[in-house]
Amino acid sequence: MISNKSKALIPAPTGAMKIPLFSELPKPHEPVYLSLIIPTYNESKNILAVVHVLSYLLDEALPNNYELIVIDDDSPDRTWEIAQQLTRDYPYLRVMRRQEERGLSTAVIRGWQVAQGQILGVIDGDLQHPPVVLLKLLEAIAQDADLAVASRHVPGGGTSDWQIHRRFLSRGAQFLGLLILPSVLSRVCDPMSGYFLVRRDAIAQKLMNPLGYKILIEVLKRGEINQIAEVGYVFVERQEGASKVTWRQYLEYLMHLFQLRFS
Ligand SMILES: Nc1nc2c(ncn2[C@@H]2O[C@H](COP(=O)(O)OP(=O)(O)OP(=O)(O)O)[C@@H](O)[C@H]2O)c(=O)[nH]1
Ligand SMILES: [Mg+2]
Query: Where are the chain's structural domains?
Result: 30-261
Q: Would you state the pLDDT for residue 2?
A: 52
- State mean pLDDT over 247-257: 93
CB burial readout 65-87, b (16+ within 10 A) else e: ebbbbbbbbebebebbbbbbebb
**Over the stretch 154-177, which tens digit does the pLDDT of each residue have?**
999 998 877 788 788 888 899 999
Which residues are within 5 Å of ligand 2 (an ion), measured at CB? 126, 128
Looking at every residue in the chain, the average pLDDT score rounds to 94
Banded model confidence at residue 22, pLDDT cuts 50, 70, 90: confident
Q: Could you tell me if 126 and 46 are in contact, meaning their C-beta atoms sit under 8 angstroms apart?
A: yes
Name residues whose C-beta falls within 8 Å of residue 116's C-beta, 6 or more positions apart in sequence.
25, 29, 30, 31, 32, 35, 67
> Which residues' Cβ are closer than 6 Å to ligand 1?
39-41, 43, 71-73, 102-104, 107, 124-126, 128, 238, 243-245
Nearest CA to ligand 1 atom 24: 243
Quick one: 30-261 is in which CATH superfamily? Spore Coat Polysaccharide Biosynthesis Protein SpsA; Chain A (3.90.550.10)
d(Cα 177, Cα 128) in Å, to the nearest integer? 23
Count of positions (residues) in the chain: 263
Mean pLDDT of 129-147: 98
- Residue 81: which of 95, 99, 101, 98 has the closest Cα? 95
Q: What is the mean predicted confidence (pLDDT) over 144-154?
A: 97
Taking only the tens place, the pLDDT of each residue in 53-70 is 999 999 999 999 999 999
pLDDT at 3: 59
Distance (Å) from CA 104 to ligand 1 centroid: 7
**Residue % of the chain over a pLDDT of 70:** 98
* 27 pLDDT higher than 80: no
- Which pLDDT score is estimated for 19? 97
Checking if the pLDDT of 1 tops 80, the result is no
- Give nearest CA residue, ligand 1 atom 6: 104
CA 115 – ligand 1 centroid, Å: 20
- Angle value at C-alpha 115, between 144 and 197, nearest 5 degrees: 30
Ligand 1 atom nearest 128 alpha carbon: 19
User: pLDDT tens across 180-219, in order?
Assistant: 999 999 999 999 999 999 999 999 999 999 999 999 999 9
Q: How confident is the model at residue 82 (pLDDT cuts 50, 70, 90)?
A: very high
